[in-house]
């Protein structure tokens, strides 16, 4: 369950709507992790964050 979304930065207004929609639809991290986004794009970071929550992050150094 997604309990909240915090986005800070110059493009926050472009990104927060997706988080708000996910909360409204009661989406899970699994739902967001399976989303397809354009590359490269800012919205891709939300999918990556969801994947990292599930231990499946692509752009994380381990």
Instruction: State yes or no: is 6 an active-site residue.
Output: no
* Under-50 pLDDT residues of the chain: none
Query: What's the pLDDT at 20?
Result: 92
Indicate the pTM of the whole model.
0.77
Q: How far apart are CA 10 and CA 15, in angstroms?
A: 10
Query: What's the pLDDT at 23?
Result: 94
Query: What's the pLDDT at 59?
Result: 80
Query: What's the pLDDT at 38?
Result: 86
Query: What's the pLDDT at 37?
Result: 87
Handedness of CA 19, 4, 6, 49 (dihedral sign): negative
Active-site position among 13, 39, 58, 59: 39
Query: What's the pLDDT at 1?
Result: 82
């Amino acid at each position: 369950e997604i309990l909240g979304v915090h986005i800070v930065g110059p493009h926050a207004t472009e990104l927060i709507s997706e988080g708000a929609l996910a909360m409204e639809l009661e989406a899970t991290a699994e739902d967001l992790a399976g989303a397809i986004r354009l590359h490269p794009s800012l919205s891709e970071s939300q999918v990556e964050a969801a994947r990292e929550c599930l231990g499946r992050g692509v752009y994380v150094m381990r």
